[in-house]
């Protein structure tokens, strides 16, 4: 199954990020094969969650993102500055957060929920969709 790009033509990420204010509510910028390219504004904490069938790629566009990980060797936190990338392997429980706020770009298979396949209780401020079309 392929996903049609939400917007045709070039997309300036700064303009796309200026087009919405909701936190933890990704927008689909385009698609690559069966993957969505999503952007999101984040602040505070997301939820502990796991993607059982896919890795999750993060690129920090603005600010700083922390990703707490629960791995077989123990817990650790990865700090991503602007311009940094990190991939959370499938099956690894993780919790992104951005105490001062950040903007991120994600690659995820089309239809992937923002809270993964397994997650804790979802607070009202966290959007559990598969992404919204960029308008």
Q: What is the pLDDT of residues 59-99, one digit of tens each?
A: 999 999 999 999 999 999 999 999 999 999 999 999 999 99
pTM: 0.88
Q: How confident is the model at residue 131 (pLDDT cuts 50, 70, 90)?
A: confident
Domain 13-133 falls under CATH 2.60.120.10? yes
Annotated domain spans of the chain? 13-133
Residues ≥6 apart with Cβ < 8 Å to 1: 34, 110
Say if CB 89 and CB 54 are below 8 A apart.
no
Q: What is the CA radius of gyration of the chain?
A: 14
- pLDDT in the model for residue 59: 98
- Compare 86 and 114 and report the one with higher pLDDT: 86
Residue 1 has pLDDT above 50, yes or no: no
- pLDDT in the model for residue 3: 46
- pLDDT in the model for residue 7: 53
> Which whole number is the average pLDDT over 22-26?
94
Residue 53 has pLDDT above 80, yes or no: yes
CA dist 132 and 46 (Å) reads: 18
Note the residue count of the chain.
135
CA dist 8 and 50 (Å) reads: 32
Percent of the chain with pLDDT over 70: 95
């Amino acid at each position: 199954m392929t996903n049609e790009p939400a917007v045709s033509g070039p997309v300036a990420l700064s303009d796309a990020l200026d087009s919405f204010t909701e936190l933890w509510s990704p927008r689909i910028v385009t698609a690559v094969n069966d993957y969505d390219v999503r952007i999101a504004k984040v602040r505070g904490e997301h939820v502990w969650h796991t993607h059982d069938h896919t890795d999750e790629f993060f690129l920090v566009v603005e600010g700083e993102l922390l990703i707490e990980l629960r791995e077989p060797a123990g817990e650790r936190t990865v700090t991503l500055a602007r311009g940094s990338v990190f991939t959370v392997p499938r099956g690894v429980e993780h919790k992104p957060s951005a105490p001062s706020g950040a903007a991120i770009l994600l690659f995820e298979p089309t239809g992937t929920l923002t809270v993964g396949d397994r997650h804790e209780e979802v607070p009202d401020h966290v959007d559990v969709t598969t992404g919204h079309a960029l308008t």
